């Protein structure tokens, strides 16, 4: 149950060919792996699919079975079935156990397909019971593994006996190693590590005598038994553990330890006991506070939890702000909640399996549909804002008014008081009397309340740094005060919002702060709020399925909490993160219908608008936002983000004037708002999309000046580096790149300096596009591949895939232009995964050219056949198909292709090429009458077209084969005349062959003198002794027919001296015959 099956589904190969024969099917074992090997006599085109939890199908296209199936079961294979579907051969493979990993490896030169099957990293081993517990570690057993591992037997636990561990599993993952103890009853475990040694202990429970073990892996080098009752295991680690996580599964009957030895080292190691399973855990008390008794944070009416106060909290560690902490959950209540979240996540495989969708900020993209981010006021504790005195800010007259307001707000920032608010100034110079104990307690109470109030106000005003300082000071100075509970929860909130855009780096710190608050104040009515925020942090970290687990805890375990509607809203957000917008809409509408009076109705409306943004239903999103404004007339004053998102909706609807109106209005209401840099950059974008480049650049310059080093300022710098002219060929915003040195320097500086921010990722992608536009395709691909290694969950994945596809195509097209077929084939194989459509017509055409250029005519013909079957009517494709068929010796198939070409749709030169090739193929196929007729018609209309010499020769050969030598001779002589001006060894060889054929036609038609001339020419053109000897022999025979015995004898004597088999022997025989005939003639006389 801990082993996931990873299946790699490969598309059919791009090289069609004739039916291959499967010549061998074998099964071999190597260590813990089983290999299924398929061998064929031709290229295999295959597809591998998962058909069940313990079975796969291997479909082999156009393949014939010519081998016997091996005997099964063997290793991990339980059975192999055979089926045929049309022209495809299908092998159905059933495994002997679940959890098998499948990896296909195809060796094209060897025509061999290997299916690597591996489940657990090592086979099970039986552990012999140790004679007595030793202080030193007992090495893991090395007994021979069983041939077929079997899952551990689950034995029902006895009521009065301790549970027994039946199996120890070691599973290797990409980033960590999982050690699991499988028992027959609930167990509790703890883990402690010192250097490269760790101890996994059970609080209660032992090791079964017949327990099975997995072999260690590269991280856990050894497993040993220190004690059997209770069980203590010693783990020898390859390196000190960076972090670990210990949790329970299967209702507590399994203890699971995840070890990370590869990541960055934590601040300090900790010992983490594992909590008891949920079934045996203490019930969590229901919160007694009601929404009216304890209003939503950050400023509840009550200064302390309504439940009985928790034990005095220790002094809060100051590392919550300073640096990372160990990500392992702390003991107690929060660890149980973490367990519950993991359990729920495992029971939602459909959610966990979906890839993370685009989560970028909208200001980073100017494309057709940027996703809508969570508004800063969404899903956070708040109170009704109090109207500020003075006039209500309305829509500004122009951008200049807004810019002036922003500058005024920045200049009017309040200075820090010289005397802390918590330290009242002395009333007089006289020394006061020492306070009584009651007075001192009251004074301390007032200071604590002042710090809490100051933190609340700063949090409400979104001055998160000041809020953190106030809450931290309260926790440090008054660790036992009743206000510490609320301060801890609010400190965690402030830290979350302060690092909302840097969650990748601060995730573990955020989770630690909430866990600490929950553990020290488990009865607080803010516990469900903290769990909800942990879910939100998980979503921001790119783990929506984990966040879903926290939301489920709030909904199911705290049904009376006022935060349940908000948990439902955030569950809708988790659906959105997985691209399930329809489910998200249904969740938000459920909240609006079931909780119409909830304080979080607005949050549901925010989420609904966001879902509509994700579905590109911008008008619907705008309608929802306008409905919010109608229901809450003061909302745009309390939360100007509403105006920003109204502007964003209009921006996507291409009403840039209205979009700019809303953007500027939002800034006019709150010039110092948190995301002012982003909104002002969007104002510049609205000008840019209207073609007002000068106005856009002025706005970008103002953003850089007023908000240095902010995301908005960096995006503005990128915009300034972009080309004002739009890239018509590539309408994506990412391609609005100016390919000059200044742009390159801008992108590189931002990408290197701000690599941990999304704007840095955007600059890196822009840098790759720059290389693409400079035709530096290899650099573009290398840049993006390294980028993905560092940012696998980047929100710019669509842009990365688009750019890598274009760069790969550009690389292949460039190699075609440089006439490098071998390099093209190699580049295609290396970059095939980058291509969006690796089997597109464009790619197959390039491959076909490469095959044809390297003499792989059969493969080239196969690809041209695929192109023609796709409906391509380009005559070049059909001609190339026929020509490669002819070059690979498939003459009859070539004739069929040429006869199917509809010449009515072709132009003059194309018709000539088709008729020329058809005539020659008919001649090669032995259809001499058709060949002669087709070639004569062609020559009559185009006597001297390009390549006519081949047509004249084919005509001559056809006429000679029809015993019409007198007609064949002029055709051969015309071909010789066309070739005479040409030079080169290949031309000389062609002229030699034509001279031989012309000489034979001349002799056959009785023109012996012409025969002598052509054979003599052939002798002079011969490139090898054998060719020359053949010409000399035919020349001697022609002299003999003319009665020129002397010349015949001279030629034969020269030929006999060459000592070349068989021509010299034939010449000697002719000379002897000549002598014998003379003697017989003399005898006769």
543 burial via Cβ count (<10 Å: 0-12, 13-18, 19+): buried
Global pTM reads: 0.52
Domains in the chain: ranges and CATH: 20-118 (2.60.40.3500), 124-128+163-280 (2.60.40.3500), 283-381+446-616 (1.25.40.10), 632-721 (1.25.40.10), 732-830 (1.25.40)
Can you say how many angstroms the Cα of residue 598 is from the centroid of all Cα atoms in its chain? Answer: 41
Asked if 214 and 120 count as a contact pair (C-beta separation under 8 A), the reply is yes
Strands (E), 882-1033: none
Quick: pLDDT tens for 406-425. 777 776 655 444 333 444 44
Does the pLDDT value for residue 780 go beyond 90? yes
CA dihedral 542, 544, 546, 550 (to 10 degrees): 130
Asked if 475 and 491 count as a contact pair (C-beta separation under 8 A), the reply is yes
Can you say how many angstroms the Cα of residue 605 is from the centroid of all Cα atoms in its chain? Answer: 33
Q: Kind and range of the H or E element at 804?
A: helix 797-817
Its sign, for the CA torsion 1002, 1004, 1006, 1008, is: positive
Can you say how many angstroms the Cα of residue 585 is from the centroid of all Cα atoms in its chain? Answer: 28
| pLDDT confidence of residue 265 | 43
Higher pLDDT, 193 or 712: 712
Token look-up 């006599």 returns 41
Q: Which residues pair with 632 in a beta bridge?
A: none
Quick: pLDDT tens for 63-92. 888 888 888 777 788 888 888 887 788 888
Question: Which range, of 180-184, 210-214, 856-860, averages the lowest pLDDT?
Answer: 210-214
Helices (H), 275-368: 319-322, 333-346, 349-352
Quick: pLDDT tens for 466-515. 999 999 999 998 888 888 889 999 999 999 999 987 888 889 999 999 99
- Please give the average per-residue pLDDT across 939-946, as a whole number: 83
Question: Which range, of 765-769, 851-855, 915-919, averages the lowest pLDDT?
Answer: 915-919
| pLDDT confidence of residue 323 | 30
- Please give the average per-residue pLDDT across 1049-1061, as a whole number: 87
* Residue burial 311-322, b: 16+ Cβ < 10 Å; e: rest: eebeebeeebbe
Give 828-860 as a DSSP string.
Answer: HHHHGGG-S-TTSHHHHHHHHHHHHHTT-HHHH
Q: How confident is the model at residue 665 (pLDDT cuts 50, 70, 90)?
A: very high
- Please give the average per-residue pLDDT across 249-257, as a whole number: 80
| pLDDT confidence of residue 18 | 52
Q: How confident is the model at residue 262 (pLDDT cuts 50, 70, 90)?
A: low
Q: How far is CA 891 from CA 882, 897, 919, 925, 957, in A?
A: 9, 10, 11, 6, 16
Tell me the helix, strand and coil percentages in the chain, rounded to 5.
50, 15, 35
488 burial via Cβ count (<10 Å: 0-12, 13-18, 19+): buried
Q: Which two tokens stand for residue 942?
A: 């185009």
| pLDDT confidence of residue 472 | 93
CA-to-CA distance for 454 and 467, rounded, in angstroms?
7
242 burial via Cβ count (<10 Å: 0-12, 13-18, 19+): middle
Q: How confident is the model at residue 885 (pLDDT cuts 50, 70, 90)?
A: very high
Nearest to 752, CA basis, from 741, 763, 743, 742: 763
Asked if 784 and 765 count as a contact pair (C-beta separation under 8 A), the reply is yes
Phi, psi of 881 (to 5 degrees): -60, -50
| pLDDT confidence of residue 611 | 92
* Residue burial 544-553, b: 16+ Cβ < 10 Å; e: rest: bbbbbbbbbb
Q: Which two tokens stand for residue 93?
A: 């493979």
Higher pLDDT, 920 or 288: 920
- Please give the average per-residue pLDDT across 103-126, as a whole number: 64
Does the pLDDT value for residue 148 go beyond 70? no
| pLDDT confidence of residue 1067 | 85
Instruction: Give every CB contact of residue 57 below 8 A, 6+ residues apart in sequence.
Output: 48, 49, 51, 90, 91, 92, 93
Give 652-681 as a DSSP string.
Answer: HTT-HHHHHHHHHHHHHH-TT-TTHHHHHH
| pLDDT confidence of residue 939 | 86
Asked if 862 and 839 count as a contact pair (C-beta separation under 8 A), the reply is no
> What proportion of the chain, given as a percentage, has pLDDT over 70?
77
Phi, psi of 930 (to 5 degrees): -65, -40
Does the pLDDT value for residue 142 go beyond 70? no
CA-to-CA distance for 509 and 255, rounded, in angstroms?
25
Does the pLDDT value for residue 845 go beyond 80? yes
- Please give the average per-residue pLDDT across 539-549, as a whole number: 85
CA-to-CA distance for 589 and 609, rounded, in angstroms?
11
Does the pLDDT value for residue 564 go beyond 70? yes
Asked if 102 and 117 count as a contact pair (C-beta separation under 8 A), the reply is yes
Higher pLDDT, 320 or 425: 425
Question: Which range, of 54-63, 312-321, 527-536, 650-659, averages the lowest pLDDT?
Answer: 312-321
2 burial via Cβ count (<10 Å: 0-12, 13-18, 19+): middle
Strands (E), 839-966: none
CA-to-CA distance for 992 and 987, rounded, in angstroms?
9
In the sheet with 164-172, reading across from the earlier edge strand, the strands are: 124-126, 206-214, 164-172, 177-183, 254-260, 243-249
Q: How confident is the model at residue 131 (pLDDT cuts 50, 70, 90)?
A: very low
CA-to-CA distance for 826 and 1049, rounded, in angstroms?
60
Instruction: Give every CB contact of residue 763 below 8 A, 6+ residues apart in sequence.
Output: 714, 718, 746, 747, 748, 749, 750, 751, 754
Nearest to 621, CA basis, from 639, 601, 606, 602: 606
- The number of residues making up the chain comes to 1085
Higher pLDDT, 420 or 724: 724
Instruction: Give every CB contact of residue 172 below 8 A, 6+ residues apart in sequence.
Output: 121, 217, 218, 219
Asked if 941 and 925 count as a contact pair (C-beta separation under 8 A), the reply is no
| pLDDT confidence of residue 120 | 40
Q: How far is CA 202 from CA 165, 258, 342, 383, 448, in A?
A: 10, 16, 21, 48, 44
Q: How far is CA 42 from CA 87, 105, 384, 530, 714, in A?
A: 15, 16, 75, 62, 56
Phi, psi of 604 (to 5 degrees): -65, -40
Quick: pLDDT tens for 811-839. 999 999 999 999 999 999 999 999 999 99
To the nearest whole number, what is the mean pLDDT of the chain? 77
Helices 527-540 and 564-577 cross at an angle (nearest 10°) of 10
* Residue burial 59-85, b: 16+ Cβ < 10 Å; e: rest: bbbbbbeeeeeeeebbbbbbebeeeee
| pLDDT confidence of residue 78 | 84
Q: Which two tokens stand for residue 430?
A: 């006289």
Quick: pLDDT tens for 375-410. 333 333 333 333 444 456 668 867 787 777 777 777
Q: How confident is the model at residue 166 (pLDDT cuts 50, 70, 90)?
A: confident
Does the pLDDT value for residue 909 go beyond 70? yes
CA-to-CA distance for 321 and 318, rounded, in angstroms?
6
Q: How far is CA 661 from CA 394, 625, 642, in A?
A: 11, 16, 13
Give 774-798 as a DSSP string.
Answer: TT-HHHHHHHHHHHHHH-TT-TTHH
Asked if 712 and 680 count as a contact pair (C-beta separation under 8 A), the reply is yes
Nearest to 952, CA basis, from 998, 895, 1003: 998
Higher pLDDT, 297 or 630: 630
CA-to-CA distance for 559 and 552, rounded, in angstroms?
10
């Amino acid at each position: 149950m801990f082993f996931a099956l990873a299946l790699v589904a490969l598309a059919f190969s791009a090289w069609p060919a004739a039916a291959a024969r499967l010549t061998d099917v074998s099964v071999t074992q190597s260590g813990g792996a089983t290999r299924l090997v398929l061998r064929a006599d031709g290229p295999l085109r295959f597809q591998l699919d998962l058909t069940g939890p313990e079975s796969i199908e291997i479909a082999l296209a156009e393949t014939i079975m010519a081998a016997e199936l091996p005997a099964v079961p063997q290793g991990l294979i339980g059975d192999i079935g055979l089926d045929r579907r049309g022209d495809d051969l299908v092998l159905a493979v059933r495994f002997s156990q679940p959890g098998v990993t499948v990896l296909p490896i195809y060796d094209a030169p060897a025509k061999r397909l290997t299916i690597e099957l591996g489940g657990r990293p090592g086979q099970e081993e039986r552990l012999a019971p140790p004679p007595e517990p030793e202080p030193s570690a007992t090495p893991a057993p090395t007994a021979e593994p069983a041939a077929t591992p079997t899952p551990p037997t689950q034995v029902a636990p006895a009521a009065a006996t301790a549970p027994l561990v039946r199996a120890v599993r070691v599973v290797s993952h990409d980033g960590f190693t999982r050690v699991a103890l499988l028992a027959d009853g609930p167990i509790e475990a703890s883990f402690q590590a010192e250097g490269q040694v760790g101890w996994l202990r059970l609080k209660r429970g032992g090791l079964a005598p017949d327990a099975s073990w997995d072999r260690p892996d590269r991280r856990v080098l050894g497993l040993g038994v220190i004690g059997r009752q209770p069980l203590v295991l010693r783990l020898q680690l390859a390196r000190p553990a960076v972090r670990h996580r210990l949790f329970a599964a299967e209702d507590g009957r399994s203890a699971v330890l995840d070890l990370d030895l590869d990541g960055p080292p934590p601040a300090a190691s900790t010992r983490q006991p594992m909590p008891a399973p949920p079934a045996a855990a203490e019930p969590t008390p229901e919160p007694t506070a009601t929404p009216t008794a304890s209003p939503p944070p950050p400023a509840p009416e009550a200064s302390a939890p309504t439940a009985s106060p928790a034990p005095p909290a220790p002094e809060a560690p100051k590392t919550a702000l300073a640096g990372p902490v160990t990500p392992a959950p702390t003991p107690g209540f929060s660890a149980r909640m973490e367990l519950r979240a993991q359990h729920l996540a495992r029971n939602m495989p459909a959610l966990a399996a979906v890839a993370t969708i685009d989560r970028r900020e909208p200001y980073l993209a100017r494309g057709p549909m940027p996703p809508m981010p969570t508004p800063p006021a969404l899903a956070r504790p708040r109170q009704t804002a109090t109207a500020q005195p003075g006039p209500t800010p309305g829509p500004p007259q122009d951008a200049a008014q807004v810019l002036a307001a922003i500058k005024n707000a920045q200049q009017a920032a309040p200075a820090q008081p010289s005397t802390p608010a918590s330290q009242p100034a002395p009333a007089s110079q006289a020394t006061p009397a020492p306070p009584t104990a009651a007075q001192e307690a009251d004074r301390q109470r007032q200071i604590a309340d002042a710090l809490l109030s100051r933190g609340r106000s700063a949090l409400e005003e979104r001055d998160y740094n000041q809020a953190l300082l106030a809450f931290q000071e309260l926790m440090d100075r008054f660790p036992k005060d009743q206000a510490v509970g609320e301060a801890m929860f609010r400190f965690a909130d402030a830290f979350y919002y302060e690092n909302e855009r840097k969650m990748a780096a601060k995730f573990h710190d955020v989770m630690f702060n909430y866990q600490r608050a929950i553990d020290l104040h488990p009865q607080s009515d803010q516990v469900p709020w903290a769990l909800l925020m942990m879910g939100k942090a998980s979503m921001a970290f790119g783990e929506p399925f984990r966040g879903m687990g926290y939301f489920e805890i709030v909904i199911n375990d705290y049904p009376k909490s006022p935060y349940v509607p908000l948990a439902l809203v955030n569950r809708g957000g988790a659906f959105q993160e997985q691209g399930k917008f329809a489910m998200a809409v249904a969740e938000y509408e459920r909240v609006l219908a079931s909780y119409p009076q909830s304080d979080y109705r607005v949050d549901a409306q925010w989420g609904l608008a966001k879902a509509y943004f994700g579905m590109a239903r911008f008008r619907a999103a705008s309608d929802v936002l306008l409905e919010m404004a109608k229901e809450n007339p003061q909302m745009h004053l309390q939360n100007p983000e509403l105006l920003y998102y109204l502007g964003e909706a209009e921006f996507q609807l291409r009403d840039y004037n209205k979009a700019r109106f809303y953007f500027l209005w939002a800034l006019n209401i709150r010039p110092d708002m948190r995301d002012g840099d982003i909104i002002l950059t969007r104002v510049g974008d609205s000008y840019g999309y209207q073609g007002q480049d000068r106005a856009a650049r002025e706005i970008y310059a103002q953003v850089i000046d007023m908000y240095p080093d902010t995301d908005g300022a960096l995006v503005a710098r990128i915009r300034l580096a972009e080309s004002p002219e739009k890239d018509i060929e590539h309408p994506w915003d990412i391609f609005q790149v100016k390919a000059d040195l200044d742009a390159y320097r801008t992108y590189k500086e931002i990408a290197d300096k701000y690599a941990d921010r999304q704007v840095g990722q955007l600059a890196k992608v822009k840098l790759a596009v720059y290389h693409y536009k400079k035709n530096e395709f290899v650099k573009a691909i290398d840049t993006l591949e390294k980028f993905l290694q560092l940012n696998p969950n980047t929100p710019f994945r669509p842009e990365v895939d688009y750019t890598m596809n274009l760069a790969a195509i550009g690389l292949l097209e460039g190699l075609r232009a440089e006439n490098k077929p071998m390099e093209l084939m190699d580049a295609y194989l290396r970059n095939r995964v980058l291509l969006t459509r690796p089997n597109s017509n464009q790619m197959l055409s390039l491959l076909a050219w490469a095959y044809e250029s390297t003499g792989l005519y059969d493969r080239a013909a196969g690809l041209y056949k695929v192109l023609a079957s796709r409906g391509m009517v380009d005559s070049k494709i059909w001609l190339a198909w026929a020509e490669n068929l002819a070059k690979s010796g498939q003459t009859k198939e070539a004739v069929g292709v040429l006869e199917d070409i509809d010449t009515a749709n072709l132009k003059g030169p194309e018709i000539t090429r088709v008729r020329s090739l058809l005539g020659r193929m008919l001649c090669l196929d032995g259809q001499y009458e058709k060949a002669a007729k087709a070639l004569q018609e062609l020559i009559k209309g185009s006597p001297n077209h390009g390549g006519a010499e081949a047509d004249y020769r084919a005509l001559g050969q056809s006429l000679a084969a029809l015993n019409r030598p007198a007609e064949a001779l002029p055709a051969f002589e015309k071909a010789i005349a066309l070739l005479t001006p040409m030079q080169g060894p290949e031309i000389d060889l062609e002229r030699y062959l034509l001279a031989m054929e012309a000489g034979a036609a001349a002799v056959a038609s009785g023109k012996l003198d012409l025969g002598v001339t052509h054979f003599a020419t052939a002798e002079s053109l011969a490139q090898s002794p054998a060719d020359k000897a053949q010409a000399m022999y035919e020349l001697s025979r022609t002299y003999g027919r003319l009665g020129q015995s002397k010349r015949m004898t001279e030629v034969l004597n020269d030929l006999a001296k060459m000592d070349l088999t068989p021509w010299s022997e034939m010449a000697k025989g002719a000379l002897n015959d000549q002598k014998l005939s003379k003697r017989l003639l003399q005898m006769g006389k």
